[in-house]
Amino acid sequence: MPIAPPARQDSEARSILTGEFIDRAAEASFRRATYDTFCKQQRILVWIILLAAGPIIVADHLLLRGTAMPDLFLPQRVIHFIIPLLWLRAIRGGATTETIDRWALTYALYLTAETFYLMTLYRADYQMILPRVILFILAGNIFLDIAAAYRLTYNVAIFAATTVGLAVIFPIAMDERVLAFVILVVAVGIGVVAGGWLSVLRRGEYLHARTLERANLALIEERRRAEEASAARSVFLANVSHELRTPLNAVIGFSEILRTEMFGPVGNARYKGYADDISSSGTRLLALIDDLLHLSRIEGGEANMVAEWIDVDAALAEWVGAFAPQASARGQTLDLAPLPPGLAVRFDRQALRHAFTGLLSNATGFTQRGGTITVGFDTGSGGVSSALYVRDNGPGIAPETIERLHRPFEQFDAHTARGSGGWGLGLPLVHGLALANGARLDISSPTGRGTEARIAFAPEAVRWENSAA
């Protein structure tokens, strides 16, 4: 039965603003599961900061040379390297996501403090500070994949510092302050929304991967159970078959004694008729049990196949000759097409006999009276495999039904099958015997124009006088 995807649990609900799981345990599970990816992204971010710090410091130095506070320049610039290096060390040292988040927040807050410091240096030029603040806000929300509480702290800090700068430090007109404040609010809004959206995407991918993992584990478990059930069924069939064969052989043997009147007349002709029925029914039941036993052994991988080179001409002549009376009794013609000289196939002899007689039995059972059954061997050409075939001119099989015939107890026409005495085991058994010997069973049947069943052999399992071998 199909497996439904796991239902979404309440613990997987996410915050609208931050995108994080509302359930702290679910959030912690997400961070543990994505730790390696998180560290990789953080490491790349830190290296970008370290590589960008040099040019930024040079630019600031050129701008700050004429300021009144040059003594703070050197230690302030050094911190741009110290904090990222400590941040990188925490990442490489396998620190927790909480510790890595704290280093990211420390650097973000340092940028906020530095920005506020620069405001005091550029009192008359807020246009140089505002773009810097907007860049920090957007980058901090989008690229810093840190906890929502830390991201909120950063946003509040830089928003408050810039607001104070606009209200107190910068000597600008009111309309400019309002415009700058609106730009700042829009930047914070965009940063928060973008950061929350990316957070939602990351957790959505995590939930999708976890759903696929759950479904995969469920499928693996179902497959294991199915294999165990199949193995148990095969063992059961094998045991039952063995247990039934002994008493059934006794029934058939005693019915044969009565039918042949081995120890004298039975006294009433009706008893002899009953004995005939018992023997016939017992023989049919024994054949069914034998097929079940063979099938269970093949499915359980216990079929002991001993491959040998078989003379196809002699084998087919023997098997077709043994089957000819049955076909004649049904008013059918059984023909053996000419075979290539010296033809031989590598196969288990008993398995090939069983498979071939199974195909013949199927053909005679489903071909009308007066029909023709042809047996032959196609040596293959144009990419077609060499194959032993049994072809009839019966009613044929619908294409959509052919695939089902490889499964036990499947029949393409239940009414016809009952009339022919079929159990739906013939073709599955042939299919299993073919696979166990490195061959395959192919069935083709243009509806209304007969059926052709082929046991296709591997190239190395066929040889004849004119072959390269």
Give the tens place of pLDDT for each residue, 274-326: 888 888 888 878 777 776 676 666 666 666 778 899 999 999 999 888 888 88
Among 152, 28, 35, which Cα is nearest to 91's? 35
Among 340, 233, 354, which Cα is nearest to 296's? 233
Burial of 24 per CB tally in 10 Å (0-12, 13-18, 19+): exposed
pLDDT of residue 39: 92
CB 248 within 8 A of CB 282: yes
Residue ranges of the chain whose pLDDT lies below 70? 1-11, 59-61, 63-74, 122-124, 237-238, 291-292, 294-303, 381-384, 399-426, 447-448, 465-469
pLDDT of residue 71: 56
Among 97, 207, 198, which Cα is nearest to 142's? 198
Among 299, 284, 287, 283, which Cα is nearest to 236's? 299
The pTM score is 0.51
Burial of 59 per CB tally in 10 Å (0-12, 13-18, 19+): exposed
pLDDT of residue 2: 39
DSSP structure string for 351-382:
HHHHHHHHHHHHHHHTS-TT-EEEEEEE---T
Q: Phi, psi (5° rounding) for residue 348?
A: -70, 125
Among 363, 349, 353, 385, which Cα is nearest to 459's? 385
CB 319 within 8 A of CB 353: yes
Q: What does the alpha-carbon distance between residue 70 and residue 139 come to, in Å, rounded to a whole number?
A: 28
pLDDT of residue 419: 45
3-class state of residue 146 by DSSP = coil
